[in-house]
Amino acid sequence: MHNIKRRCALLGLALCMSVGMTGCKKTAGKVDVSNYLKEIEPEKIGKTSYETIELEVTTYSERFGAIASAKYEETPVVADIPYGTAVPLNFVSNNNILVKKGAKLYQYRLEFDEVYMATKRIELTRKTERFEEYKQKEEERLAEVLKAAAQLPEGSEALAEAIKDYEKQVKNYNRQVEATQEEIDELAKEVAAFDNNGKMLTIEAPEAGIVSFDYRIYWLNDGMEIARIRNPHTNIYAVADQYGDFMVGQTVLGDYSEPNGEKHEIVGKVLSVDSVLPLNLSTESAYIWFDFPEDMAITPESVHILVETVCLKNVVRIPQNLVRRFNGAYYIEILTDEGISRRNIDILTEASTDYIVLDTSLAGLKVIKR
């Protein structure tokens, strides 16, 4: 022991002298540690018991877990209330259940002002009567114009001009008739809606799927979205990717649970990430396609995934408590037939309680546990 201390002291003095009078600095990189520790003579090995660990070539991977949420195709359920005042009543269907096309989702009552209804009925009657009178008079007038043109000499310039003027008048007449008829039809629809005054009406599902209500309805207007119908099956899922952990084409392992609690494993592939999209299309999400069974009617709302960010083959894992450090260099103590030797190692990274080393020539060496 005295000899070891003496060698270490001399080494320290030599290092200080080598850097001059500016002070003693630590050296970095590989260090030959063979002279720092006392050599064990071969005959002493048999008298001492050493516990060792034999190094092996293995693999190293890093993973992290995340939740991928289903991106279902959705159809909005929109209120069609072009006339009157809708008074919201209540939901008929429960939330997040599978419904058929035409299923009743929401009830409301339609109300009209009595004076307004009377005014519109009168307006419809008068407008229809005046329109019929207008058509009769215009058709008679156009007939006279055509009759007068027929009296002109055949092939004359005057006849050509008369026919041209007649066609223009007919075109304007048809345009006016079409516009007025549309106004009358719209007014007639509104008057017909008066029959629903005070009645309870329902809004129905436009297609089959899972119904989703997001909020309580306190008022109801035409074109207002009251719910969404979600297609119960999808293969596309989204997962947060603010830090760019995903790559296009990357394989993802996942698992999901059925309503009865039965758990299944599934494989997915990354379809899209922000790094391959224009900045204005950034979503901070990666989109994953999962290979669900074709006969699966309802896919899960979420999938738990494990993502492999690092995968190295042919590496050596060395428990950290077997690695020594001196002057910035790392080494291990190896038991051989001749005694104990020391060997420098270059550490790639840490993994839990181990160091990862790329030097596969370390495989088979017996590292002493102290």
What digits encode the pLDDT tens for the residues 339-351? Answer: 888 889 999 888 8
Beta bridge partners of 318: 355
Reduce the DSSP state of residue 358 to 3 states and report it.
coil
pLDDT in tens, 56-96: 998 877 777 899 999 999 999 999 999 999 999 999 999 98
pLDDT of 280 reads: 67
What DSSP element (H or E) covers 133?
helix 114-150
* Residue-wise DSSP of 247-258: -TT-EEEEEEE-
DSSP 369: P
pLDDT of 204 reads: 95
Ranges of residues in the chain with a pLDDT under 70 are: 1-49, 276-281, 309-310
**Is residue 359 packed enough to be buried (19+ CB in 10 Å), middle (13-18) or exposed (0-12)?**
middle
pLDDT of 265 reads: 92
Round to whole Å and give the CA distance between 328 and 348.
Answer: 15
The answer to whether 205 and 58 have CB atoms below 8 angstroms apart is no
The answer to whether 99 and 229 have CB atoms below 8 angstroms apart is yes
Round to whole Å and give the CA distance between 285 and 273.
Answer: 7
pLDDT of 91 reads: 93
The pairing of beta strand 251-257 with beta strand 263-272: antiparallel
pLDDT of 309 reads: 67
pLDDT of 42 reads: 40
pLDDT of 279 reads: 65
CA distances from 239 to 65, 243, 256 (A): 11, 12, 15
Backbone φ and ψ of 100, nearest 5°: -90, 165
Round to whole Å and give the CA distance between 71 and 74.
Answer: 9
pLDDT in tens, 225-270: 999 999 999 999 999 987 788 888 888 899 998 878 889 999 999 9
